[in-house]
Amino acid sequence: MATTVKIDPLTRIEGHMKIEATVDGGEVKDARCAGTLFRGFEIVLKGRDPRDAQRITQRVCGVCPTVHGTAATLNLDSAFGIANKVPDNGRIMRNLILGANYLQSHILHFYHLTALDYVDVTSVADYSGDDPELNSVKDFITRGELAPFAPRYEGDYRFDKVTNQQLVKHYLMALDMRRIAHEMLTLFGGKMPHNAAVVPGGVTEQPTVDKITGFLWRLNRIRHFIDGIYIPDVIKVAKTYPDYFQIGDGPGNFLCYGVFDLDGRSSDYAKRDRLFNQGAVKGLSKLEALDPGKITESVKHSWYEDDDPRRPLEQVTKPAAHKKEGYSWIRSPRYGGEVYEVGPLARWVVSYLSGNKKVKETLEGCISDLGIKIDDLNSVLGRHAARALDTKVVADTMAEWLLELKPGEPVCAAYEIPEESEGMGLVDGPRGALGHWIRIRDRRIDKYQLVVPTTWNGGPKDEKGQYGPMEQALLGTKVQDPANPFELVRIARSFDPCLACSVHTLNFRGEKIASLRVV
């Protein structure tokens, strides 16, 4: 008999999310993902000074504000006609600011959002060593109030006691590491979350030798952690839960906007030289050049009046709260009409097939260490592995960029806000492809549109009946214990969903919304 497994709220993600799976004969036959918070940023942005978009859109998400700030400034640079005028210092400091948050976001995701699905914290009750931090956790467990580490799913924790204890220690160390990544960012960015320094034209802060050195040595500590602890821990999880290379395969199509500008002279973000390459990969093999004209959003199973798929700046929003086929306020972004996964795995597949030397060498090493085939990467563990490799390559490259900064040289280009203009900012964030679009009229924002990574990954079915990537990853999954459906939460979290980012969302009900104008 079919049963419905509902996980609401899905915790240890950014924001408010719900998963619903129909399980029949121990297997997921139908799946739905939806967000349960709607704020309407695009409505709030209308009519404002275009420059405020950089500050306001960072507030879309406190976990990955930096990439919204980056996409917004690229968008404004292009609308202001200065996309090719950002000085090298500005370009590099933007890379370092965004890179620092990549490290923060990925470390936080693996240890603090994901690890508790695999690691048993209560094993520390039997700890007999002399590590003061683990002993304070032991005292905590002994006192008996286990919140926030209980309640939890019970059952499939596979590590032995000593490894569990070691991983709890790493969870604690990782708290420091992600904090230091923010400190590093703040040296150039002013504060975190929500940095102050990234602005149209470049940055506001000057690179000075003391800041460069302070940044470098914080970075070195984090690189030691990535090489010595984070990557080995991902391998431990992979070796202990190897079945998760066969669980959670998505659509097999991958989209990446590229990220970390290596050259600021091209105004075309789809073509400029970036550390990770732009592109679209179909069926894990065929690479195409990125064509932003192919990006559309569908509304067939979202609560909007039926409409043809439209490009971002052409979206017309007519809510239809009682639409029978609707089950989400998230739209369904499509690329050339098809479903694409975005995120670190997509980034790595696209760069790998683009022949990116750094990526190719690192990925081939990882595949051989893990004893897997490249196809196995389309899985829960593949996403975690790609995220860890992402962290390493970004951190290592940041150390090179730091030495390219030239104290005393310009950090920002001048600009005028045009009377009328349009812009587009494309960049990959920690969670994947992020696009900001703007239309300016009378020097004010006439329309601002965001298509964010979790909208790509977490959106509903489209007019062709194609499920969204997360839904596809859930479909066909064998659930051992419907009361403790570890498989489902491990799949969902492997996408690192960020619900605050998928701004168009609401809940499954949504009666009486018809009067609302949702952009």
Cis peptide before 148 (omega within 30 of 0): yes
Q: In this complex, which beta carbon is closest to other proteins, that of residue 205 or of residue 261?
A: 205
Binding to other proteins (CB under 8 A) within 272-291 occurs at none
- Single out the residue of 29, 158, 161, 191 in contact with other proteins (rule: CB under 8 A): 191
Q: How many residues bind other proteins (CB under 8 A)?
A: 95
- Single out the residue of 175, 287, 374, 475 in contact with other proteins (rule: CB under 8 A): 175
Do residues 5 and 482 lie in contact, with contact meaning Cβ atoms separated by under 8 Å?
Answer: yes
Q: What are phi and psi of 344, to 5 degrees?
A: -55, -40
Helix (H, G, I), strand (E, B) or coil at 206: coil
Host H or E run for residue 327: none
CB of 51 to other proteins, least distance (A): 5
Q: What are phi and psi of 333, to 5 degrees?
A: -70, 140
Helix (H, G, I), strand (E, B) or coil at 324: coil
Stretch that binds other proteins, among 113-121, 269-277, 281-289, 459-467 (CB under 8 A): 113-121
Host H or E run for residue 259: strand 254-261
Binding to other proteins (CB under 8 A) within 251-270 occurs at none
Asked if residue 497 binds other proteins (CB under 8 A), the reply is: no
Q: In this complex, which beta carbon is closest to other proteins, that of residue 39 or of residue 478?
A: 39
CB of 175 to other proteins, least distance (A): 5
Q: Which residues contact 353 (CB under 8 A, 6 or more apart)?
A: 279, 281, 285, 287
Rounded distance between C-alpha atoms, residue 365 and residue 25, angstroms: 39
Binding to other proteins (CB under 8 A) within 144-163 occurs at 145, 147-153
Stretch that binds other proteins, among 186-194, 290-298, 368-376, 380-388 (CB under 8 A): 186-194
- Single out the residue of 23, 28, 31, 65 in contact with other proteins (rule: CB under 8 A): 65
Q: Which residues contact 22 (CB under 8 A, 6 or more apart)?
A: 2, 3, 4, 5, 28, 29, 30, 31
Q: In this complex, which beta carbon is closest to other proteins, that of residue 95 or of residue 195?
A: 195
Do residues 278 and 257 lie in contact, with contact meaning Cβ atoms separated by under 8 Å?
Answer: yes
Binding to other proteins (CB under 8 A) within 390-409 occurs at none
Asked if residue 507 binds other proteins (CB under 8 A), the reply is: yes
What strands, in cross-sheet order, belong to the sheet with 444-451? 420-429, 432-441, 444-451
Q: How far is CA 67 from CA 10, 15, 178, in A?
A: 24, 17, 16
CB of 192 to other proteins, least distance (A): 6
Binding to other proteins (CB under 8 A) within 114-143 occurs at 116, 121, 133, 136-137, 139-140, 142-143
Q: In this complex, which beta carbon is closest to other proteins, that of residue 16 or of residue 331?
A: 16
Nearest CA to 83 among 270, 256, 258, 255? Answer: 270
Q: In this complex, which beta carbon is closest to other proteins, that of residue 357 or of residue 512?
A: 512
Asked if residue 179 binds other proteins (CB under 8 A), the reply is: yes
Do residues 149 and 71 lie in contact, with contact meaning Cβ atoms separated by under 8 Å?
Answer: no
Structure-token pair, residue 267: 């105004």
Stretch that binds other proteins, among 15-23, 72-80, 241-249, 366-374 (CB under 8 A): 15-23
Stretch that binds other proteins, among 36-44, 397-405, 451-459, 474-482 (CB under 8 A): 36-44
Site string for other proteins, 202-241 (x = CB under 8 A): xxxxx-------x---------------------------
Q: In this complex, which beta carbon is closest to other proteins, that of residue 69 or of residue 279?
A: 69
- Single out the residue of 309, 500, 502, 504 in contact with other proteins (rule: CB under 8 A): 500
Asked if residue 183 binds other proteins (CB under 8 A), the reply is: yes
Do residues 177 and 222 lie in contact, with contact meaning Cβ atoms separated by under 8 Å?
Answer: yes
Asked if residue 470 binds other proteins (CB under 8 A), the reply is: no
- Single out the residue of 41, 159, 448, 495 in contact with other proteins (rule: CB under 8 A): 41
Rounded distance between C-alpha atoms, residue 86 and residue 89, angstroms: 8
Rounded distance between C-alpha atoms, residue 53 and residue 451, angstroms: 15
Binding to other proteins (CB under 8 A) within 291-350 occurs at none
> DSSP labels for 448-506?
EEEE-HHHHHH----TT-PPPHHHHHHTT-B-S-TTS-HHHHHHHHHT--BTTTSTT--
- Single out the residue of 56, 74, 405, 491 in contact with other proteins (rule: CB under 8 A): 56
- Single out the residue of 59, 223, 294, 360 in contact with other proteins (rule: CB under 8 A): 59
Stretch that binds other proteins, among 22-30, 261-269, 340-348, 501-509 (CB under 8 A): 501-509
Do residues 82 and 413 lie in contact, with contact meaning Cβ atoms separated by under 8 Å?
Answer: yes
